[in-house]
Amino acid sequence: MTMTLDRPTRLFVILGGFFVCNALIAEFLGVKIFALEDTLGLAPLDWNLFGQSGSLNFTAGVLLWPVVFIMTDIINEYYGRRGVRFLSYLTVGLIVYAFGFAYLAIGLSPAGWWVGIQASKGVPDMQAAYGVIFGQGMWIIAGSVIAFLIGQLLDVFVFHRIRRVTGERYVWARATGSTLVSQLIDSFVVLYIAFVLGPQKWSMELFLAVGTVNYLYKFVVAIALTPVIYLGRYLIHGYLGDETARALAARAAGRSAEGA
């Protein structure tokens, strides 16, 4: 017996897969902090905010979070509030699940020969390196997961509020607008939980400065990615057919309006 999926269902699985995969990978990549100016070959930008100064340093997770933003807006457009909420809760559960097994793996006794196997490459203790890379602090994990969930639920709310006002017009307004609002909250929530409430006890000035720089980066990326939303719509309408795609979007908007 074979099971076949219709195209709207298959599309939801594909979009959902990218959504979950990118969020999960971003969590593990986020342990690396990179210098944006050095990466682009630019002179360091010495920003000064709230009495603090620094350069443009971000977690490597920012490479993937924009993809999550795009997936959120596209899923919002065609599968509505329920689709995004379902995937957001699923993602949080899988992130916790993944980190649970990461900590279990860290706790396993390493083979003696493996610990120093990469010493010639500058890694004298593989067990320590493994623990540092995969064993992110609980405060950082909690902050990231809580901020992600709050950001996603807020994104859904703002997206459909804008849609109720504008109708099917101004796709850019509901897609980019909802991302800008949700990421404003996300940028500060994760830092507050991880570094203000957490053991590092950041000052409020440092918290506000780093949060503002992070949000400005996300603001620029969200604006820059707006054309990608239209490309996604074009590809989806080509895959589903214009009539099916419009019907799916109308149903998503109707369900979200009922749940508002």
Q: Give average pLDDT by consecutive 10-residue segment, the chain, 260 residues.
A: 77 93 89 87 85 85 83 90 93 93 94 94 93 84 90 90 84 88 89 87 90 89 88 92 91 63
- CA angle at 210 for the pair 209 and 211, rounded to the nearest 5°: 90
Calpha distance 28→26 (Å, rounded): 5
Residue in the block written with tokens 């054309």: 227
Residue in the block written with tokens 């902090």: 33
- Asked whether 260 and 31 are in contact (CB, 8 A), the reply is no
Rounded to 10°, the helix 242-259/7-29 angle is: 70
Calpha distance 114→116 (Å, rounded): 6
State the pLDDT at residue 260. 45
- CA angle at 70 for the pair 138 and 247, rounded to the nearest 5°: 125
pTM across the whole model = 0.87
Chain center to CA of 42: 26
**Which pair of tokens denotes residue 26?**
């971003």
State the pLDDT at residue 255. 57
Beta strand 47-49 with 33-35 is unpaired
State the pLDDT at residue 3. 59
State the pLDDT at residue 4. 72
If phi > 0 it is left, if psi is from -120 to 50 it is alpha, else beta; for residue 110 that is beta
> CA quadruple 141, 158, 84, 61: dihedral positive or negative?
negative
> What are the φ/ψ torsions at residue 115 (nearest 5 degrees)?
-55, -45
State the pLDDT at residue 2. 55
Tell me the C-alpha to C-alpha distance, in Å, between residue 213 and each of 11, 173, 217.
35, 23, 6
State the pLDDT at residue 33. 85
How many CA atoms are closer than 13 Å to the CA of 190, on its beta-carbon side?
Answer: 23
State the pLDDT at residue 43. 86
